[in-house]
Structure 1
Amino acid sequence: MMHPCLFIIFSFLLLLLEATTANQLVSVGDVNNKFFDVERRALLDFKSHLQDPNGSLSTWTAEDDDDCCTWRGVMCNDQGHVTQLDISRNNLNGTIHRSIGSLTQLRYLTLSYNSFYGTIPQEFGNLNNLQGLSLGYVGRCRVENIEWLSHLSHLEDLVMDGISLAKANQWVNVISSLRNLSWLSLDGCELSQVMYPYSSSFLNSSSSSIETLILSNNNLTSSMYHWLFSLTSNKLRDLDLFGNTLDGIPINPGNLCTLTSLKLYNNPMLINLPDFLYNFSRCTSLRLTYFYASDSEFTGSLSDDIQKISSLRYLYLSGNHINGTISEKLWELPELTSFDLSQNSLSGAISEKIGNSGAIIIKLSKNPLQGVPSIDHMSNLSYVESLDLNSCKLGPSFPKWIQKLKKLTYLDISSNGISDTIPLDFWDMWPSQLRFLNLSSNNISGEVPDLSLNFDNHSVIDLSSNSFNGPIKNVSSAVALLNLSRNKISGGISFLCQFVDGFLEFLDLSHNSLTGQLPDCLWHFKELKVLNLGNNNLSGRLPASIESLFKLEALYLYKNDFYGELPLSLKNCTSLNSLNLGANKFSGNVPVWLGENLSGLYALILSSNNFFGTIPLQLCQLPNLQILDLSSNSLYGTIPSCLNNLTSMVQQGFLPPPNVHPFTTQWYHSRSAHPDIIYEYYVDHAMIEWQGDEREFFRNLGLLKSIDLSSNNLTGHIPYEITNLFELIALNLSKNALVGEIPRNIGQMKKLIALDISRNNLAGGIPSSMTQMTFLGYLDVSYNNLSGRIVSSTQLQSFAPSRYDGNAGLCGLPLSKKCLGDEEPVIGKSEDDGEDEFWGWFYIGGGTGFAIGFWIAIGALLLNRRGRHAFFQFYDSFKDWVYVKVVVFVLKLQRAKYT
């Protein structure tokens, strides 16, 4: 039994211990609460610097009892510390506040795909427990000093795509110091050459743990290989160097033999493909499955060494300079699933061993391949899902062996010189699975087939530019794109009323012999973006149901017999950006709602109709308008002086409305049989009066800025405001009743290539400022009341005398009539004689000079990766433009005899 005194002492000590423990617990609780409050305030500070239009962070509130661990995008550990923060893809705007640096327990931070701006705060270096940091495409952000990154020693995954590291000169050393890094993505970070020598940490290969390395879309040169190869200690699996300025790749089997994926596409690599394959084939344990080197500079043939890369599943070498025949060893690769050798110079026959391949995606388009395998060898191809043989030489007979490919979802045999009919059972081969069919640009004849079967949802049918005839009977409602243009199709278009709740986005039936009216059932076409019925024999009024085409962006009804006033319901098509109703019998006033409701228009063509009245001032409210053609109508009144409000004709460059792709419009791409297939289904076009002749503009339409008000009854002066349209390319005011003088400052329209003001009642002289119009390739001022000397410049004297006919008061070259005081007609110096002398030498010696200068400029452009990418996107549009320029140049040389 315990002594009473001892009991009292023991009890006292126990109470003291409990009190001390309680005080300690309170103290620890206070510390934890204080720490958690720091994390909570840090998140609220971060939010306070953001705009959140979607309310994604609405759960982040400042209420006292609010637990931040319950907030959207926030995750905590068992102790209540914030360990994960993921607010990606929330459309957040603003700056990334340094308060995030207070979240020291963070393991994973994801801010990707928002719209931040400014500098990434250096306080991120406090997050020394981070294992994953994703800052990909966070907006217009930059890093000026990247040293903070070296403190994140536990980092395993790092994504900084789209962040400018142009000023972060030490990025190589910093990255090399991260010993645990396994995934590194620096896509589009404005990286350039890698400086040497590197730090000691680099030399020790401290970052050899990297397995995935993405350095695409930068300006890296071959100087980066020293650093790259130091990282490849048997761990690098995926290497992406797409879109740089690499001029080669030194292949050392000891460095890259561990790769499973290699992406080199869009680099100016002048590499011999046989040597490349040989070097790779020396790897004893190569497991390369994905090799992508499209749009580069590979040369030589596809040699037999391809068989030694037996693990290859995906091979993409399109857009190179590969020649010779295809090695038959290609078809024997046991793992091959997809390959693309299109746009090369491969020749010879398509091997019958193609049947040995296991590939389900085969692309050999735009090669001079010829010959057709026998049907007996096609039984092994029953698994093929995608076959692209566009622009080969399969014709003239239709390749019947295709009918053996029972699983096809994608087929392109366009531009193959096929002059034959299609077997009737061809259309019964695929049980409702075909998603893409392109037989265009051949000479296939026969009646239009029944297109109501065998097509999957959002499918594509392109039978354009053939010789199909007869009526269109049935079309599947599953079709998203239907192009039957440039055939010999007749009959009506009542089949359109069969579409109920369909997917149709694009319909082109132009250049056929269709008759009848446009049926009043257009409410079915909720998704329609392009409707082209041009150059047919259609007639009648436009139906009221046209108002249902809310998504319509391009409407082409030119060269038909439509009549009546434009229906008011058309103003509901507010997505329209291109409207071509030329060469019909429409009448009434030009509607004011064209300018009030269709604010996105960049092409408005109402030529060769029966419109009357004045030109509505509301057309000046179209800031994107680049083509305005009201010619050959019965319009009267004056030319609106507000035309200088047409912003697109004043400012430099192409200014498309928000829903328009400049130059070409790609309506349908990712829905095709495979996600990497992008096909240009439609090219905007228009008929434009150009240098006295009607011409159809296609890919260069986006570059054209033109106004044609000719062949009307317009009166009054040429408004001087029109000369503020500095970017205008073509201006035609001919065949009106305009009076007064040519605006004196017309010469500031220096971009004009074509100017026609003939057959009016203009008086006065030719302004001296016209000597500045050095691009002018077509000029007609004939049949006016002009007088005085034709101002002396090489440009104006280069045109034929007939362009000045009907102006009795004009004198001087190129006319034979001398001016008063002239003994011999001599070309004098203009007020800007230095420029005239330059252009004179340009026209005389320009053949060589222009060519050398042009290709030097293009060469410099192509050596720059971003420039090269932009050039090839732009080339299809630019080549027609160059054609116009060259024609003008040649005309000037021919006219030099008048000088």
Structure 2
Amino acid sequence: MAASFAPLHHVLFIVWFLPISFSLSFFFFKAESISNVSCNEKDKQALLTLKRGLTDQEHGLSSWSDHKDCCIWDGVVCDKNIGRVSELYLKDLRLGGEISGSLLQLEHLNYLDLSFNDFNCTPIPTFLGSMFSLTNLELYGANFCGLIPHQLGNLSSLRYLDLGNNSDLFVDNLRWMSGLSAIQYLDLSFADLHREVDWLQIMSKFPSLSELYLSNCQLDSLNPSLGFVNFTSLRALDLSKNHFNHEIPNWFSNLSTSLFELHLYNNSLKGNIPPSIFNLEKLEHLDLGINSLNGPIPSSVGNLSRMRALLLDQNQLNGTIPKSLGLLSKLETLYVGKNSLTGTVDEGHFRKLSKLNDLYMSEAPLFFNVNSNWVPPFQLYYAHMSSIKIGPTFPSWLQSQRSLSILEMSMSGISGKAPGWFWNWTSKITSINLSNNHIECNVSDIFLSSTVQVLNIANNSFYGPISSFLCQKKIRKNKLEVLDASNNLLSGELSHCWKYWQSLIHLNLGSNNLVGGIPYSMGALVNLQSLRLQKNSICGDIPSSLKKCSNLRLIDMGDNHLSIIPLWIGEMTNLLVLRLRSSEFKGYIPQQICQLSSLRVLDLANNSLSGSIPNCLKNISAMAFPDSYDISFFSMSLIYPYVYASYVENVQLVPKGKEMEYKENLKLVRLIDLSSNNLSGSIPAEISDLSELRFLNLSRNHLMGKIPEKIGSMKELESVDLSRNHLSGEIPSSMSNLTFLSLLDLSYNNLSGRIPSSTQLQSFEALRYIGNPQLCGDPLPKSCTIEEQSLNKSPIGSVEDDSENSSFYIGCENSCNPRQLQLEADINKLFLYQGC
């Protein structure tokens, strides 16, 4: 279905677990409120020199004036006894430019924070290693690049070093760190540390180190052979998003008993979870998600009496969930989804979980089996329970959950009628996903509180006139942004009440029993990014009011009864996907369609379109140039993310003759399908400029002329279907350059001459060339005559001769009409081919 349930907790928990050494630099404050001393003139001039070298787009340094005492400048703190600058808080000011060496004149500076600025991938200044008074150096997310300077190892007083989230930093070794004898907090996240194989031994030698953050550092070994690692003071360890393709080492169980936070998610860890890891009695946060761990969850998990967050999702864990989990009375977050865990989950698993508010159990073959009168001890905020067995009856325990914000119960085996209390039971709900069940409900009974942003009831048995839902007065103040009611039993005409639904971003009413026209009032949906009305009985014109929906990225009106493609379609310049197949469209393909420069999918197949193919298709730059469109923007246009989940648009396409559903992978598709129409004229030579096109289908039309000579320049093509037209001439030799081609169909045309030689073209069945009586060469059983060989020499390889087959076809060509003999020749070719 069109929803994805991969949790986003590994990002969101940054908010929950801020660094222990969380400093005042989190806030940018005005220094005059805490300082009443006069600034040293030497320090003042040093700061003014620093300012001159910086770019200050947000004017965050506007208070830095020669006419003011520098101790009252924003971001400046002076020692109240001596009037010397001791701290600089320049965080998140969008500063850039050059960091002046005048900072060296600030002899008493102990705190420097330049985080969340943009220094345009310049190196970290080496002179910072000569600022010996520094105790805190924070350069997090400031866009520094290059080698981390060894000189930083001279800062023997440094307690807090944060170089995290500068994605292009690297080290050649870490031996220089031995001088950081006072270090307590170290963040090198996103720096490339893979060149230092002894990183673990080096890091473990700091006696005061309490927090170590090495996420996304391209580390590949935790040295499993080590029996002991001397992290004596460690309280927080983050080694997430590395490449540890081995088991969790035993030395983890010997970590400091003060460890309260351990992140190992998104590595390649395998093997069992060692039971001893649950002996770290002070552990409050354990994240082993997104690995390849297998085996059961150890029952010793119940020993973690202080555990607040346990995340084991997206592994290969099997067996049953131990009931000892129910002893974790302080547990707030439990993630066990996307595993191979089996068996029953019942009341005992939640016995003491009174603080649980975030539950992720989705996509595991579990059976949630509780009594119908069960009242849970918890109040959930987030319930992610899709693709586990909950039904057949509607879960009555939900009625007790008055704080619920996110409900994900897709594919949960729930059937029968939705209870009357369901649509009124909570005023805090923001997302409801009940898709892919067997729920019956009259849409007029649906009530949405003003907080609901996502309603996904696709693939159920909701029934009744669509207008009875859209036009009811009690939900006119809705804030709905996603509505997916596809694949239900909705009926009637689309209403004229769209002015009450102007928050909608994604609308899918496909695969219902809707009739009538598209109302003009749908133009009120000015925030709409995707509009899907496919597989209904909607008729008539597409109203021009939809021009107002200029944010549309996806339009799917396929499988309806519509009239003509409007000329104003060219004004929808943000459009990425246009699917209008099988909707009885008549008339021409408007030239204006070439103005859709961002278009990646153009599907007009199986209509009654006539005239020629526009010769301006090369103007669709997203199909002509690599990286002409930001893929991340493309993805986000068709994905609606919300807490720990997302709604993902899906489109049914026919890229290789078989209908397929595209969701997250839609961003990779570039397709033109104009098949099964009444198009005439030639294939425009300009189509060869679409060098990024992957799927081209022009079959079952009345196209004439030659295949474009430069078709071989379309090197990304995976599928080409030009069958059942009236194309003539030779197959261009450039087609041998299409090395990615996995489907080719040129059958039933008037093509002649030798099939060009290439590994690719000869790999297809003879059926793909059948119905071209004057075509010869492998894989057809008809070999080319000497005359044909001389006229159609292939640039690749040599021509094999089969004199027996050649004489058969020479005889036919000299005495028979090829059109009259086509059927018989086809049968003979297949017989001979199968014989080979």
Q: Determine if the TM-score, normalized by the shorter chain, exceeds 0.5.
A: yes
Partner Cα separation in structure 2 for residue 254 and residue 791 of structure 1:
68
- Equivalent in the alignment of 1:365: 362
- 1:594 aligns to 2:569 (yes or no): yes
Letter in 1 for 2:527: K
Partner Cα separation in structure 2 for residue 391 and residue 225 of structure 1:
36
Partner Cα separation in structure 2 for residue 704 and residue 766 of structure 1:
26
TM-score, scaled relative to structure 2: 0.81
Letter in 2 for 1:264: L
TM-score, scaled relative to structure 1: 0.76
Provide the identity percentage.
36
- Equivalent in the alignment of 1:876: none
Deviation, 1:223, is 5.3
Q: State whether residues 193 and 224 of structure 1, in contact with CA within 8 Å, keep that contact through their aligned partners in structure 2.
A: no
- Equivalent in the alignment of 1:684: 650
Question: Cα deviation per residue 1:560-610 (whole Å; 9 max; x = unaligned)?
Answer: 44455444433332322222233444445642x433x43322212333456
- Equivalent in the alignment of 1:624: 598
Partner Cα separation in structure 2 for residue 354 and residue 405 of structure 1:
18
Deviation, 1:35, is 0.8
Partner Cα separation in structure 1 for residue 200 and residue 577 of structure 2:
57
Partner Cα separation in structure 2 for residue 444 and residue 512 of structure 1:
10
- Equivalent in the alignment of 2:242: 244
Counterparts of 1:473-622 in structure 2, within 5 Å, are: 494-495=470-471, 499-588=475-564, 590-591=566-567, 593-595=568-570, 597-609=571-583, 615-622=589-596
- 1:642 aligns to 2:616 (yes or no): yes
Deviation, 1:239, is 0.9
- Equivalent in the alignment of 2:11: none
Deviation, 1:339, is 1.5
Q: Provide the secondary structure at the position in 2 that maps to 1:641.
A: coil
Deviation, 1:897, is 5.0
Q: Which moved more, 1:116-125 or 1:751-760?
A: 751-760
- Picking from 35, 41, 52, the partner of 2:48 is 41
Q: State whether residues 590 and 613 of structure 1, in contact with CA within 8 Å, keep that contact through their aligned partners in structure 2.
A: no
- Equivalent in the alignment of 1:22: none
Q: Provide the secondary structure at the position in 2 that maps to 1:149.
A: helix
- Equivalent in the alignment of 1:290: 285
- 1:388 aligns to 2:387 (yes or no): no
Q: State whether residues 194 and 224 of structure 1, in contact with CA within 8 Å, keep that contact through their aligned partners in structure 2.
A: no
- Equivalent in the alignment of 1:778: 743
Q: Which moved more, 1:317-326 or 1:498-507?
A: 498-507
Q: Provide the secondary structure at the position in 2 that maps to 1:444.
A: strand
- 1:179 aligns to 2:176 (yes or no): no
Partner Cα separation in structure 1 for residue 498 and residue 613 of structure 2:
36
Deviation, 1:706, is 0.9
- Equivalent in the alignment of 1:212: 211
Pairwise CA RMSD of aligned residues? 3.8
Partner Cα separation in structure 2 for residue 540 and residue 100 of structure 1:
73
Distance 1:100 1:314, change over 3 A: same
Deviation, 1:224, is 6.9
Partner Cα separation in structure 2 for residue 776 and residue 818 of structure 1:
24
Letter in 2 for 1:594: I
Letter in 1 for 2:408: D
Counterparts of 1:140-289 in structure 2, within 5 Å, are: 141-163=144-166, 167-171=170-174, 173-192=175-194, 194-196=196-198, 207-222=206-221, 232-233=231-232, 235-246=233-244, 247=246, 248-251=248-251, 253-273=253-273, 276-278=274-276, 280-281=278-279, 286-289=281-284
Distance 1:657 1:296, change over 3 A: closer
Counterparts of 1:714-753 in structure 2, within 5 Å, are: 714-753=679-718
Q: State whether residues 165 and 191 of structure 1, in contact with CA within 8 Å, keep that contact through their aligned partners in structure 2.
A: no
Distance 1:143 1:504, change over 3 A: same
Letter in 1 for 2:292: E
Letter in 1 for 2:268: P
Q: Provide the secondary structure at the position in 1 that maps to 2:46.
A: helix
Q: State whether residues 508 and 533 of structure 1, in contact with CA within 8 Å, keep that contact through their aligned partners in structure 2.
A: yes
Partner Cα separation in structure 1 for residue 89 and residue 464 of structure 2:
60
Deviation, 1:258, is 1.9
Partner Cα separation in structure 1 for residue 474 and residue 631 of structure 2:
33
Distance 1:241 1:736, change over 3 A: same
Partner Cα separation in structure 2 for residue 719 and residue 547 of structure 1:
35
Q: Provide the secondary structure at the position in 2 that maps to 1:133.
A: strand
Q: State whether residues 732 and 757 of structure 1, in contact with CA within 8 Å, keep that contact through their aligned partners in structure 2.
A: yes
- Equivalent in the alignment of 2:755: 790
- Equivalent in the alignment of 1:133: 137
Question: Cα deviation per residue 1:308-356 (whole Å; 9 max; x = unaligned)?
Answer: 3322222111122222222222212333332211122222222441241
Deviation, 1:210, is 1.5
Deviation, 1:291, is 1.0
Distance 1:225 1:142, change over 3 A: farther
Q: State whether residues 628 and 708 of structure 1, in contact with CA within 8 Å, keep that contact through their aligned partners in structure 2.
A: yes
Question: Cα deviation per residue 1:771-793 (whole Å; 9 max; x = unaligned)?
Answer: 33344343333443322233455
Distance 1:559 1:736, change over 3 A: same
Deviation, 1:698, is 3.6
Q: Provide the secondary structure at the position in 2 that maps to 1:770.
A: helix
Partner Cα separation in structure 2 for residue 709 and residue 607 of structure 1:
9
Distance 1:393 1:616, change over 3 A: closer
- Equivalent in the alignment of 1:879: none
Question: Cα deviation per residue 1:456-510 (whole Å; 9 max; x = unaligned)?
Answer: 72454333222233346xxxxxxxxxxxxxxxxxx66543776545321112222
Kindly name which structure, 1 or 2, has the bigger radius of gyration based on alpha carbons. Answer: 1
Partner Cα separation in structure 2 for residue 425 and residue 493 of structure 1:
17
Letter in 2 for 1:244: N
Letter in 2 for 1:38: Q
Q: State whether residues 700 and 723 of structure 2, in contact with CA within 8 Å, keep that contact through their aligned partners in structure 1.
A: yes
Question: Cα deviation per residue 1:697-743 (whole Å; 9 max; x = unaligned)?
Answer: 44432222111233445444322221232222221223444332112
Q: Provide the secondary structure at the position in 1 that maps to 2:116.
A: coil
- Equivalent in the alignment of 1:420: 416
Partner Cα separation in structure 2 for residue 382 and residue 431 of structure 1:
15
- 1:452 aligns to 2:432 (yes or no): no
Question: Cα deviation per residue 1:41-94 (whole Å; 9 max; x = unaligned)?
Answer: 2232232xx261x44444445xx4244444443344445543333332233444
Q: State whether residues 36 and 80 of structure 1, in contact with CA within 8 Å, keep that contact through their aligned partners in structure 2.
A: no
- 1:668 aligns to 2:633 (yes or no): no
Letter in 2 for 1:156: R
Distance 1:534 1:334, change over 3 A: closer
- Equivalent in the alignment of 2:819: none
- Equivalent in the alignment of 1:857: none
Distance 1:238 1:443, change over 3 A: same
Letter in 2 for 1:620: C
Q: State whether residues 184 and 212 of structure 1, in contact with CA within 8 Å, keep that contact through their aligned partners in structure 2.
A: yes
Letter in 2 for 1:128: F
Aligned length, in residue pairs: 761
- Equivalent in the alignment of 1:464: 458
Question: Cα deviation per residue 1:157-176 (whole Å; 9 max; x = unaligned)?
Answer: 221112357543343x3434
Partner Cα separation in structure 2 for residue 320 and residue 757 of structure 1:
45
Partner Cα separation in structure 2 for residue 721 and residue 782 of structure 1:
23
Q: Provide the secondary structure at the position in 1 that maps to 2:151.
A: helix
Question: Cα deviation per residue 1:117-163 (whole Å; 9 max; x = unaligned)?
Answer: 21111122243332322211112x12425233123333222211123
The higher relative CO (CA closer than 8 Å, separation ≥ 6) is in: 2
Q: Provide the secondary structure at the position in 1 that maps to 2:462.
A: strand
Q: State whether residues 390 and 413 of structure 2, in contact with CA within 8 Å, keep that contact through their aligned partners in structure 1.
A: yes
Structure having the higher helix fraction is 1
Letter in 1 for 2:642: H
Q: State whether residues 189 and 214 of structure 2, in contact with CA within 8 Å, keep that contact through their aligned partners in structure 1.
A: yes
Deviation, 1:629, is 2.4
